[in-house]
Amino acid sequence: MWSISDKGEREFTGGKEDWAAVAHIAENCPGFKPDDEDEMVADEAVSCYNCRYRRWTIKSFVCCK
């Protein structure tokens, strides 16, 4: 589910459209914090895609928490 980059960053391997998986991850993540409303893209309120600590990459996102 996660790959580790050369920089030691955790990148989600499911890409930018795996809505159910990132909702499940975020629901169980103590570090989840909602981003500004304008930056939210997932319909599920609690989702890595809506988290302040996700940093978008070309294919997916990196978890910065």
Chain residues that interact with another protein, rule: CB under 8 A? 19, 35-43, 52-58, 64
| Of 60, 30, 65, 64, residue with least CA distance to 46 | 30
Q: Which is nearer to another protein, 24 or 52 (CB)?
A: 52
CB of 3 vs another protein, minimal distance in Å: 15
Q: Which is nearer to another protein, 29 or 35 (CB)?
A: 35
> Which stretches within the chain are classed as H helix?
19-27
CB of 1 vs another protein, minimal distance in Å: 20
Pairing status of strand 10-12 against strand 2-4: antiparallel
